[in-house]
């Protein structure tokens, strides 16, 4: 959110040290901030992440059909997934936004976070080379790629919960981090899932915020009687 974000801290979070920090600064700059913004980097990063994920899936699932590979790739590169990665980096606090976006909470907006993640990918490519960029993308997506299974095409718990609530015109759930335990390299996240309109609150625990949120969403589905064990 700051006009002068702590780039050193962010670089540690994403696991890449820029030779030219201005590349990263530009990737964090939303169009509402000024004419020099991350839209071109986003275009570049979007193409790169699609290529890298497509290549990985091609080798990971050697017997998969084209349609299956396309669906798996769509799951990986959709805005929701990219925004989740952005939240794991706590990216919102580093974004450079115009006053209007700041006031409206743009640093939390899914589309802005997703665009910024793609922009950072584009920035890493310009700052290094394709292979370095490829390794970074695969590292960021590693946990999600490992969890993919051709036999299990069911949507993840957070998506199922969201669709259940939307179909009944209920407000979307709110996920709050209750606590984070352990050292930086081995943290445990405790997260709550709050459904205000239904007066329900569940919890989840995991080695990442994403996993903990999925666990909390799964518990919410069970408490609503939507799913069983």
**Cα–Cα distance between 22 and 6 in angstroms, integer?**
13
Would the annotation count 42 as a binding residue?
Answer: yes
CA nearest neighbour of 75 among 7, 16, 10, 149: 149
Annotated ligand binding at 62? The verdict is: no
Q: Which residue is catalytic, options 84, 101, 118, 156?
A: 118
Residue of 6, 8, 22, 46 marked active site: 46
Residues near 143 by Cβ (< 8 Å), separated by ≥ 6? 208, 210, 211
Neighbours of 215 (CB within 10 A): 21
Block residue for tokens 């759930």: 173
Q: Report the alpha-carbon distance of residue 86 to residue 118 in Å, rounded.
A: 10
Active-site annotation holds for 118? yes
* Residue 90 annotated as catalytic: no
Kindly report the length of the chain: 229
- Residue from 159, 168, 171, 221 nearest 197 by CA: 171
CA distance 222 to 224: 5
Q: How far is CA 148 from CA 68, 69, 73, 115, in A?
A: 11, 11, 10, 23
Instruction: Provide the annotated active-site residues.
Output: 46, 118
Residues in binding site? 42, 115, 118
Annotated binding residues for Mg(2+): 42, 115, 118
């Amino acid at each position: 959110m700051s006009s002068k974000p702590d780039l050193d801290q962010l670089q540690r979070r994403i696991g890449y040290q820029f030779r030219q920090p201005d590349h990263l600064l530009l990737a964090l700059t939303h169009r509402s901030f000024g004419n020099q913004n991350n839209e071109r980097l986003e275009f570049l990063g979007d193409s790169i992440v699609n290529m890298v994920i497509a290549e990985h899936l091609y080798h990971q699932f050697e017997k998969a059909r084209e349609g299956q590979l396309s669906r798996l790739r769509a799951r990986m590169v959709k805005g929701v997934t990219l925004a989740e990665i952005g939240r794991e980096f706590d990216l919102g606090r580093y974004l450079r936004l115009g006053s209007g976006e700041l006031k409206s909470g743009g640093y939390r907006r899914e589309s802005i976070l997703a665009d910024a993640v793609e922009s950072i990918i584009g920035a890493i490519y310009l700052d290094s080379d394709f292979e370095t960029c490829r390794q970074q993308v695969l590292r960021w997506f590693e946990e999600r790629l490992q969890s993919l299974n051709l036999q299990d095409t069911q949507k993840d718990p957070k998506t199922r919960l969201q669709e259940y609530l939307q179909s009944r015109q209920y407000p979307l759930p709110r996920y709050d981090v209750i606590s984070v335990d352990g050292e930086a390299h081995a943290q445990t996240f405790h997260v709550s899932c709050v459904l205000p309109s239904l007066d329900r609150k569940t919890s989840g625990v995991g080695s990442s915020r994403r996993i903990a949120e999925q666990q909390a969403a799964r518990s919410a589905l069970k408490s609503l009687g939507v799913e069983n064990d």
